[in-house]
Amino acid sequence: MGIGVYSVFLLLAVVFYLERMALLDMAFQGFHILRTGALQIQSGRFGAAGTQVFPWVAQMIGLPLRGVLLSYSLGHVLYYTALFAVVMLGFRQWRWGGIFLLLGTLMTTHTFYWLSEMPQGLAFLAALLAWAHTRQTPRDFRWWEYPLLASAVVTAFYFHPLVLHAFAFCAAYCWLDAYAPRGQKQNYALLAGFFAACFVAKYFVLPLDWYDNMAMERSRAFAELWPHWFDLKSQRDFLRWLQSDYCLLALIVVFNTVYFLWHRRWGLAMLSAFGPVAFVFMVNVPHHSGAPQFYLENLYLPLGIMAAVPWVFGVLPGLLPPERMWMPIAVVLLIGLVRIALAHKTWTVRLQWERDFLQKTAQMEHRKWLIAEQQVPMDTLIMSWGSAFEFLMLSSLASPDSSRCLLIDEDPQRFESSRTHPRLFLGEFKNYPFEALPARYFRPRDTTEYRYWMQ
């Protein structure tokens, strides 16, 4: 099943590489990898090096822009493939292998195209827990493995703060499972100690960066919005998406809960039901005004492990013999792959609009434009902050000499003081002289000023 799933993912990563790479964060990070020749770690999430190393190596060996973008797209799949191979061939943990595959298909829809550190962190966590399951007690770890174990916990924690909640659910499941060996519970206690140390260090000892500070500010919504937590736009959006893209996830959560209730395993039933619900509130209340589906889906992804762990470790073994457990998992994987493949339409339409706009403006007398969000179909673009990097990437694919400078912004007037500079690439957060761009990939030739789009 793993070979089949990752073969499909590799195929999709090739066919839709521009939908994935000429898009917001990946376009931004790809631009800076090419500009600096170095990895671009954001907000201390150094685990992202596992995927960024692919475009970094590609530009180091001189591949053209298309090759760099393809390597970045494929690298995200190869990262998961390598971890899956470690879980299956190294740790011999086939149940965690099943959970690993479900993490990439049970809830993943738009996050196959909009890429972030969250799914990478969850995959790394699954591999870490598979490693812990190879030891019967903490004493079975060799002395030199403890520093490696601590380093792996730090890496998992720093992929994304919400990875901690995924681990907490898995640990709670093990502790509440009467059939789990005592030594395995001790292994989770050891990991919990490492995670707790990371939490204290990050939030009470080390200074927070701007992104984490913003998340902390959002958490005030819990007090400010009580008792209206149920009547929020984000809650209504989630229920709508639950009926369309995430219905399988909901069915498995309900099935887990009913199974444990039927077998009078009350603790696991409460965890299976209220763990995912509590996590949804943890995401939706701070984002009460709503956000694009792809962004919130990224935050919801720990729900995948909250559904998969009880299903694979508790429910399926109670219903099926081990040699048949693959069957329902295979059905979920197949449905997930079809859903992910169909989800490309949103991102292909977006990509095509940008290509059409480049073509439309290619023969104009003035070719450097500042465009207001009100002048473009934002229901198609969804977000515009990465547009300068996206247009630069797309226009440069034919040749570095064909690089174009265009930018869509909610307030183009804020670039008034810099738009007349003849050799300046305007970006959302910072502007760059043409000389600072890597000439191997981007050589914009237009030295006229930026004009405000009036059509």
Of 355, 387, 383, the closest CA to residue 371 belongs to 387
- Judged against a pLDDT cut of 90, whether residue 215 lies above it is answered with no
Return the percentage of the chain with pLDDT > 90, whole number.
Answer: 94
* DSSP 8-state symbol, 180: S
User: What is the structure's pLDDT at 209?
Assistant: 80
According to DSSP, the residues that pair with 406 across neighbouring strands are 369
Q: pTM for the complete prediction?
A: 0.96
DSSP-based three-state secondary structure for 398: coil
- Judged against a pLDDT cut of 90, whether residue 217 lies above it is answered with no
pLDDT band at 208 (very low <50, low <70, confident <90, very high): confident
Overall average pLDDT of the 422-448 stretch = 96
CB atoms under 10 Å from CB of 86, counted, come to 16
pLDDT band at 226 (very low <50, low <70, confident <90, very high): very high
Q: Any idea of the CA torsion for 177, 172, 162, 157, to the nearest 10 degrees?
A: -100
Task: For 29-65, write each residue's pLDDT tens digit.
Answer: 999 999 999 999 988 899 999 999 999 999 999 999 9
Overall average pLDDT of the 301-327 stretch = 97
Q: Give the CB-side neighbour count of residue 422, counting CA atoms within 13 A.
A: 3
Q: Are 85 and 108 in contact (CB under 8 A)?
A: no
Task: For 344-402, write each residue's pLDDT tens digit.
Answer: 999 999 999 999 999 999 989 899 999 999 999 999 999 999 999 999 999 999 999 99
- Alpha carbons 35 and 314: distance in angstroms, whole number: 49
* DSSP 8-state symbol, 140: G
Q: Are 28 and 392 in contact (CB under 8 A)?
A: no
Q: Any idea of the CA torsion for 71, 77, 79, 82, to the nearest 10 degrees?
A: -120
